Amino acid sequence: MNRVLSLCLKFLAVALCSALVTAQASEQKSAAADPAKGAALYSGGDPARGITACIACHGAEGNAVIPQNPKLGGQHAAYIKKQLHDFQGPDRNNAIMTMIAKAMTPEDIDNIAAYLSAQRATPGVAKVKETAELGRKIYRAGIAEKNIPACAGCHSPNGAGIPAQYPRIAGQHQDYSVTQLTNFRTGTRSNSAQMTAISKRLTDDEMKAVSDYITGLR
């Protein structure tokens, strides 16, 4: 009798563990990012919640054609999520993006990030030949005398970045990159201590040169 009871208790324990694992797996699955929902929100927005369509500023599949707006296609999901959460707080200020980000739920942010990270980024072309060598030098070797590290050290030689650590910047619009470096310098954007320190050591011409070089990376 005791043996039968013992076996029953063991069976019950296994069954409970199995049910718990199944429930956890189901919860994780339901909480997983949904790129399809991200695509729908990206393309159509949700006016009822104050979320305008991202495509209007960031272009089809995240490839913005307006040079003042960033290309987001192919960007690391973790980076996109961090920026949207930062827009919800005090570390990154932008009248439009702050309003939109604050209207998003964590699920919205995960879905948008999953969608954009799966897209293919369109390449850009460096245009300023006169500063090409300066831009290349800063990106690949930094400026030792000013204690400016090589951009390639964090963003990789081809601008692909490092997932979950540093963003992809290859092909990014020069105008947008210059604006962000300037924002880091002035404190308008304060969500990266590294970039704040580096930008304060760059001149305007150096910012423009390295930003143009980044545009041509692929």
Please indicate, yes or no, if residue 27 is contained in any of the structural domains: no
Task: Please indicate, yes or no, whether residues 137 and 175 belong to a single structural domain of this protein.
Answer: yes
pLDDT at 29: 38
Please state the domain count of the chain: 2
172 or 18, which is more confident: 172
Residues of the chain with pLDDT > 70: what percent?
Answer: 86
Q: Write the CB contacts of 109 (distance below 8 Å, at least 6 apart in sequence).
A: 80, 81, 84, 85, 101
* Distance separating alpha carbons of residues 6 and 1, to the nearest angstrom: 9
| Structural domain that includes position 177 | 129-215
Please indicate, yes or no, if residue 23 is contained in any of the structural domains: no
Task: Please indicate, yes or no, whether residues 209 and 140 belong to a single structural domain of this protein.
Answer: yes
pLDDT at 21: 38
CATH of residue 107's domain is 1.10.760.10
Which of 117, 142, 160 is the last residue before a domain boundary? Answer: 117
pLDDT digits (tens, 9 = 90+) for 147-178: 999 999 999 999 999 998 999 999 999 999 99
Reply yes or no on whether the pLDDT at 11 is more than 50: no
DSSP per residue over the chain, as a string? -HHHHHHHHHHHHHHHHHHHHHHHHHHHHHHS--HHHHHHHHHH-BGGGTB--THHHH-GGG---STTS---TT--HHHHHHHHHHHTSSSB--HHHHHHHHT--HHHHHHHHHHHHTSPPPP-----GGGHHHHHHHHHH-BGGGTB--THHHH-TTS--BTTTB---TT--HHHHHHHHHHHHHTSB-S-HHHHHHHTT--HHHHHHHHHHHHT--
Which of 117, 151, 180 is the last residue before a domain boundary? Answer: 117
7 or 69, which is more confident: 69
